[in-house]
Amino acid sequence: MSGEGEEKNAQVFDITSLDTYDLLSFFVSILSAQAWQHMGLRVKPGTDKVEKDFERAKIAIDCTSFLMDKLESHVEEKDRDALRRLLSDLQINYAKLSLEKQEQSSTVKK
Question: pLDDT tens across 42-97, in order?
Answer: 998 888 899 999 999 999 999 999 999 999 999 999 999 999 999 999 999 999 99
What residue type is assigned to position 29 of the chain? S
Distance separating alpha carbons of residues 72 and 40, to the nearest angstrom: 28
Alpha carbon distance, N-terminus to C-terminus of the chain: 66
Determine the 3-state secondary structure of 39 from DSSP: strand
Alpha helices, DSSP H, located in the chain: 2-9, 20-38, 54-71, 77-109
Q: What are phi and psi of 52, to 5 degrees?
A: -105, 135
The pTM assigned to this predicted structure is 0.82
- Can you say how many angstroms the Cα of residue 72 is from the centroid of all Cα atoms in its chain? 17
> Which residues, 6 or more positions from 32, have their beta carbon under 8 angstroms from its beta carbon?
60, 64, 86, 90
Q: What is the pLDDT of residue 31?
A: 98
